Amino acid sequence: MTDPTPAGATSAAPPEAAAPAPVRFSTLPLDPKLLRAVADQGYESMTPIQAKAIPVVLAGRDVMGAAQTGTGKTAAFSLPLLHRMLKHENASMSPARHPVRALVLAPTRELADQVANNIKAYAQHSNLRVAVVFGGIDMKPQTEELRKGVEVLIATPGRLLDHIEAKNCVLNQVEYVVLDEADRMLDIGFLPDLQRILSYLPAQRQTLLFSATFSPEIRRLSQSYLQDPITVEVARPNATATNVEQRFYSVSDDDKRRAVLQLLKSRAITQALVFVNSKLGAARLARSFERDGLKTAALHGDKSQDERLKSLAAFKAGEVELLVATDVAARGLDIVDLPAVFNFDVPFNAEDYVHRIGRTGRAGASGLAITLVTRDDTRLVADIEKLIRQKTELEPLELETERPPRRQRRDWSDDSAEPRAPARAYSPPRVASPASDPFFDRPYEASSAEAAPAWETKAPAAAPRSVSPNIKPRRKVAALLGGSAAPAKTPA
């Protein structure tokens, strides 16, 4: 039956999606293997985005999903796709029986790794194979895993193109494509890579696009690669979570670090994520907090992937008190029970503010987002207010002065106190006189007026030296050029 909705238009949800959304996962028409895996994770009730998106994805429609970050978008697209792929499930060891059927693209390595872990947990009771590939690590282990065959592949765009060019994976049997945090991929310049990757895929496929924000560029992208998409929104786009307390404090650049330390102490915050705008700033600030006695780790693009994963794992395990990070940690990372987020630097892109503060207050928990604002951040704060459609209140922050404790003065009026010894008169230190010289100690004596100066007195002529009679005098030779003639030689 032909769908009357014109291609490229946003249509209304189908009747099955318009029905009252189920509250519990057990009410969904999912395979028992998936429901068992969901129960193993401790999930019983669905979030609004899951309740609205899962029936639409099960119906085979393209979806544009918009929801506040931390509301479970990964399960919203992975559970229905796994359900639809179970028809291809098999226990064969042949790689040809396990082609890539679902491709999930993520902007950062950390998000790709997290999505892969979630999907592996949902597919643990099935024979579907899940793999993840991202940059920063050796390609050889990834190549070996891809050649064994995988049904679900999670990847970052750059590393996926490397494997495609190396002929390590073939995407001609892909049936489902998911663009997770697509706006971030466009922000960091992945649009040409996305276009190349999508050109390798079959034209007939189901495409899902999930993100916390929808920019005009994202909507243009959906018009090019999604077919008659259904927009599923559970909150106003670019809205911040209502359970996150947002505070803006006015400080100077030099007082930012002291402000973070004071707020950690005054609010009894045991763990926090601190965002900065530069990789160098993240490294320097992490070292400063380490000197202040806090267990700190840094997370930025200049670190190796192994270091980044270890820092993130230590932070999630509670072994690190402060994680100083750039915006590589702003998208999609799920950190359970994170009490606070600090914007040490106001983000240059207003949409990054929504993603940053979305790291706290996840899964319905309360959270705190603190932004430190300087005099130069006025325009950036105005962009944030325009995006979230909220007026921010800039509060002054009085910092505690760091003065050394004053010494207690002794009360000499107390008779029991020991009397102070009388002060001695000051006498300058004695300086030893230099040794005397008799010549310089003699008084000045003027010389006689008749005496001539020493420099005008000629030295007496030396007495002529006697000549031996055996030595004949030298003959004088006339000068060649105008000299006097020599005397004539007398005959013998």
State the amino acid at position 198 in one-letter form.
Answer: L
The CA distance from 82 to 25, in Å, is: 15
Instruction: Give the pLDDT confidence score for residue 16 in this predicted structure.
Output: 39
Strands 244-250 and 394-396: parallel
pLDDT per position as a tens digit, 10-67: 343 443 344 444 578 988 899 999 999 999 988 888 888 899 999 999 999 999 888 6
> Please, are residues 331 and 108 in contact by the beta-carbon 8 Å criterion?
yes
pLDDT at site 157: 93
Q: Which residue has the higher pLDDT, 78 or 448?
A: 78
Does the pLDDT of residue 8 top 50, yes or no? no
Domain 15-233 listed as CATH 3.90.1150.10: no
CA count, 13 A, side-chain hemisphere, 34: 22
Q: What is the pLDDT of residues 83-103, one digit of tens each?
A: 999 999 999 999 999 999 999
Are the folds of 15-233 and 244-396 the same?
Answer: yes
Domain ranges of the chain: 15-233, 244-396
Cα 338 to Cα 163, 276, 287, distances in angstroms:
36, 18, 22
Compute the residue count for the chain.
Answer: 492
Q: Given 3.40.50.2000, 3.40.190.10, 3.60.70.12, 3.40.50.300, which CATH number is that of 244-396? A: 3.40.50.300
Confidence of residue 317 (pLDDT cuts 50, 70, 90): confident
Calculate the alpha carbon distances from 423 to 173, 319, 418 in Å: 98, 59, 15
Q: What is the reported pLDDT for 337?
A: 80
- 8 Å CB contact between 267 and 340: yes
Distance between CA atoms of residues 193 and 161, nearest Å: 8
Please give the radius of gyration of the chain, using alpha carbons only, rounded to the nearest integer: 43
> In this predicted model, what pLDDT tens digit does every residue of 426-466 receive, in sequence order?
555 665 555 666 666 667 666 555 556 555 656 565 555 55
pLDDT at 467: 55
Axis-axis angle for helices 305-316, 109-122 (nearest 10): 60
Q: Residue 113 is encoded by which pair of tokens?
A: 């790794």
40-49, 191-200, 358-367, 468-477: least confidently modelled range:
468-477
**What is the helix (H) or strand (E) element at residue 369, kind and residue range?**
strand 367-373
